[in-house]
Structure 1
Amino acid sequence: MSLRFLCLPLLATTLLAETPAPTPTPAPTADSEDLFTLGQSLFEAYAPPEIKKDLAFPTRAQWDEFAARLEKTRATGSLAELAAYETEARTALLALRALPEYKDYADWLEERIDEIVVAKKAIAPPVTPQPTPTPVPQPGPVTPVPVVPKSTNSDIPLYDLWVERLRDRPRPARADEFLPDLKKIFADEGLPADLAWIPEVESMFNPRAKSPAGAQGLFQLMPVTAKAQGLSLLPFDERNDPEKSARAAATLLRRLHGMFDSWPLALAAYNAGEGRVRRTLKAEDAKTFAEIADALPTETRLYVPKVLATLAIREGLDPARLAAPSAR
C-alpha cells in the first residue's frame, strides 16, 4: 500500500460532512495530543475504504522518516532527486500546519519547497521562446513594473531562476517586526544591513523555526555553531532570541567573508560549513562559487542564489555590488 500524508483539516471536514451533525455542545480545549488522537480516530472510524487503500493518517514517525529522507537528498542528492519531492513535500506541509507541535517545522519546510520548485525548473528542458506580438498602446497612466537588478556577477548559478520565483512574492508578515533591529545589528557589526533579509530564506522570520537537522531560530543556527558564537542552549535556547542570534550570525558572516573574500563563498560556507567550502575549492582548484557550485550539496547550490536574489528583490541591490565588511 502506498502511504502518503493526509491533511487533517481536509480529512475532518470531509468525514464530518458525511456524518449527521449532533446537537452542538461546548467543545473542551484540546491539547496537541488530543488533536492528533482525534484525527486518527476520525480517519479509522469514517474514512471510506477507497481512501484508506491509498492514504494513511500522518504519524509523527512518518514525518520523521520523510524529513530524514529530504535532508539526505538536500545534502547528497541531485537537483532531479530533490525535484521529485514536490508533491510529497506540499502534502506534508498541510499535515504539519494541522499539528500544533509541528508549526515551527512548517515554516522550515515551506522554504524547502521553494528549493524543490527551483530545482524542478533548473532541470526542465529549455522552452523555445514564442514571438511576442507588438503591444497595442493603451490610454491612461501605466503602473511601473518593479525592476530587479540583473546581477553583473556571473558567479551566481540559478540566480535568474530565483528572481523569477521570488519577484512577485509579498514581504513576510513578520519582516517589519524584526527588520529595523536586525539591520541595526548588522550595521553595528560592520556588515551590509541588507543581509538582515537572510531570515526570510532561513526561517520566514519565525524566531522559533526548527529544522529536522537541529538548526533553530531566525538564522537557523546549528547547536555547535551557536555555541561557537557564544550562545547558550540551556536553560534557555538563545538561538530563539532574535537579537542574540542576529549578532551571532553577523559575527560568523563577517569571519567567513574575511576567510573567502567573497559573499557567494561566505554564504556557501554559512550553509555548508567553512571546511566543506575550503576543501571543495582546493579539490576543484577553484576560486569562485560558480566553479565549485556543482560539487557542493544541492541545498547550498540553491541557498546562495536564493539569498542573493532575495536581497536584489527586497533592496533593489545588485548582488555583485554587495559591500565587503567595514572596519569597526
Structure 2
Amino acid sequence: MRRRNRLTGGIELHQLRLLHPLPPLATGRCKSGDRWSSVAARCAVSFSSICSIELAYTLWSPYTIYYAFSMFGQILLCLSAVYQIFQKGVQLGSMFHFIFYGSNLAAALILARNAYNWPLLIKSIEEIENQLPYFRRNFRTIITLTTALMLANCAVEHILFVAHGLIIAYSCDPDNVIDIYLKLYKASIYEFTRGSAWRWVVTEIFTLQGSFNYSYNDFIMVLVSLYLSEYFLVHNKRLKKAVQQVQRYIDQVKTIKIAISGLDFFYVTRGTILTELEHSIIDFSCDKCLGHELYTIVRLPLHLKDESQ
C-alpha cells in the first residue's frame, strides 16, 4: 500500500515540480524508528529527524522572506559591481568586486536550485542508505562539529575583515570612518551608501550573506567527502571480514580429506559451504547485492576447479 504524505495531500514527490516553482523547504517529524536520511540534511539544514515522506515545497515559511531579502541583496551588489565597471572601466578593483559579488549571486542561485530538488535528493539518498551498512555512532558528532567549525570560520573571517577595514579607516580619519571604509573596501557601492549609516549596515548584512554563499559550495563538498569516506571505511571493514570468512571456508574445502568418493563428496561439501558463505557475506556486509556479487566471484574458481578434476 502506498504511504500517504500528510504534507502534500498524497501527491508524489516527483509531482511537486508542477505545483511550486522555487519555494523553500518545509519539514515534518518522522517516527523514531526511521533512519537518518541524509548527512547534508541533518547537518547543513540542522534537522534533528527527517524522512523523505515528510518533505515538501512550500512558500508559507519565514525562510521565504529571508531568502527573498538575501537574493535581493546579492542582485543589488552584483549590479553595483557592473555599474562600477561601466563607470571606471576594467580595473583590478572593479573586476575583483564583480567576481566576488557575481560568484555570491551564482552561489545563491545554486542554493535555490538545491532547495528545489531537495525532497527528490533526500528520497534517492534514503533509498541508497537502506541498502548500506550503518555508520559509526560518532559519525553524526563528527559531521556536526565540522559544520559548526566551517560556519564559525566563515563568520569570524568576515568579522575580522570588517574590523581590519574599520581600524585602517579610523587611522586615516577618526571623524569619517564609515565613508573611508566604504571608499576603500566597498568602492562599487560607495556612491549609493555615502553619508548613511543604515545603508552601510544593510550593505554589510548583504555582504555577510554573500560570504556564507561564497563558502557554500566548499561546505557541501566537505560534507559529501566525509560522507563518502565514512561509507567506504565501513564498507572496506566489512568487506575485509567477509573475505576472511570466505578464505576460511575455501581453506576448509582444500584441507578436508574423507574416504568417500572424492568428486561426489566435494560437490556436496561445496554446496554446503557456498550456502553458508552466502549467508555469512550478507551478515557481514548488510548488503544483498554485495553478497551476491562475492558469492558469484567465489563460486567461479571452485566451479572451474571441479571441472579440472
Which band: TM-score by shorter chain?
Answer: under 0.3
TM-score under structure 1 normalisation?
0.20
Larger radius of gyration: 2
TM-score under structure 2 normalisation?
0.21
Q: Which has the higher helix share?
A: 2
